[in-house]
Amino acid sequence: MKVVILLVEWLCYSGAFGTIVMISFGMIMSKCHVKLEDMLLMLGMIGTQYISYRVIMEWDYRSRFGRTSMGLCFRDNSGHFMAEADLVRWEKPALDWVKCNIDVAFVPGSGRTSMGLCFRDNSGHFMAGMTQWQQTMISSVEGEAWALLLAMEEARYKVLDRVQFESDSKVLIEAIHMKRRGNSEFLSIVHDILSLMSSFINFKVKFVRRQANLVAHTLARATNSWASFHRFENIPFCIERLVFNEMQ
């Protein structure tokens, strides 16, 4: 098994040939209808899950559009062709700002709602992270709102002033921007978020697509590996390669 692991890692680092191998892996996984998070976990078992951003993109677009990019072109949700350079990727925050990516995960069979967050500086370096899970299943939008509120409280705890929070929940970000009010549990959490933002005027929220939120998504999926609440001062192994790639 160790020999196989070393061989796969060598292929991943061996230039064009390694790229072709990993893109082919993404194509095979899409044909088998493997979910993105399951593919990440499978790759994680051999220590290569974050070596190539293109593997994820190949899987995503192959499964959505039924064709491979092979470095030529992709198509957007309208079917229009788009250059690889136009693909959505994580972007570094402005000078003197910190970026915090947040995501929530619902692991089938666990009965848990999990969240993960990651703080990075304007160079893309890992600053801190956190994971937390609760033994209850809540709605997707409630989970996303809960995760964002925890992230803001964590930023306050760390005395971070200028923070841009990114979530891949468009419903949540729109509710915050529109300052929606209501009696639902979701809007109750949104109210708490807005109250916190009124005290920290340099807390900003932004919607990003999943491709630009893979670090937080991966942490959220891996939350069950740790205690119900866990802070990271050093970068976790499961996101180390992905963070490094996004620094480039």
Q: Which of 34, 63, 86 is the last residue of a domain?
A: 86
* Residue 48 pLDDT: 42
Please answer whether residues 61 and 27 qualify as being in contact, where contact means their C-beta atoms are separated by less than 8 angstroms.
Answer: no
- What DSSP designation does 178 have? T
Residues 29 and 103 in one domain: no
Q: What is the C-alpha separation between 5 and 8, in angstroms, rounded?
A: 5
Residue 235 within any structural domain of the chain: yes
Measured between alpha carbons, how far is residue 223 from residues 25, 32, 46, 95 in Å?
26, 26, 19, 30
Residues 47 and 113 in one domain: no
* Residue 31 pLDDT: 54
Q: What is the C-alpha separation between 190 and 198, in angstroms, rounded?
A: 12
Q: Which of 155, 126, 154, 130 is nearest to 235 (CA)?
A: 126
Q: Which of 39, 40, 216 is nearest to 126 (CA)?
A: 216
Residues 218 and 110 in one domain: yes
Q: What is the C-alpha separation between 129 and 151, in angstroms, rounded?
A: 10
Interval 176-213: pLDDT, tens: 999 999 999 999 999 999 999 999 999 999 999 999 99
Q: What is the C-alpha separation between 118 and 167, in angstroms, rounded?
A: 11
Residues 202 and 237 in one domain: yes
Please answer whether residues 126 and 171 qualify as being in contact, where contact means their C-beta atoms are separated by less than 8 angstroms.
Answer: no
Longest pairwise C-alpha distance within the chain:
58
Residues 145 and 115 in one domain: yes
* Residue 155 pLDDT: 98
Residues contacting residue 32 through CB under 8 Å, at least 6 positions apart: none
Q: What is the C-alpha separation between 134 and 196, in angstroms, rounded?
A: 22
Residue 222 within any structural domain of the chain: yes
Please answer whether residues 133 and 228 qualify as being in contact, where contact means their C-beta atoms are separated by less than 8 angstroms.
Answer: yes
Q: Whole-model pTM above 0.85?
A: no
Q: What is the CATH classification number for the domain harbouring 212? A: 3.30.420.10
Residue 178 within any structural domain of the chain: yes
Exposed (0-12), middle (13-18) or buried (19+): which is 166, by Cβ within 10 Å? Answer: buried
Please answer whether residues 238 and 44 qualify as being in contact, where contact means their C-beta atoms are separated by less than 8 angstroms.
Answer: yes
Count of domains for the chain: 2
AA identity, residue 232: F
Residues 44 and 71 in one domain: yes
The two tokens of residue 192 are 């708490």
The two tokens of residue 228 are 């119900």
The mean pLDDT values, 10 residues at a time, for the chain of 248 residues are 49 47 55 52 44 47 43 50 63 97 87 94 97 90 96 97 97 97 95 97 96 95 87 94 94
* Residue 146 pLDDT: 96
* Residue 150 pLDDT: 97
Q: Which of 55, 86, 117 is the last residue of a domain?
A: 86
Interval 60-89: pLDDT, tens: 444 444 444 334 444 555 555 554 445 689
Q: Which of 179, 151, 185, 145 is nearest to 165 (CA)?
A: 151
Residue 92 within any structural domain of the chain: no
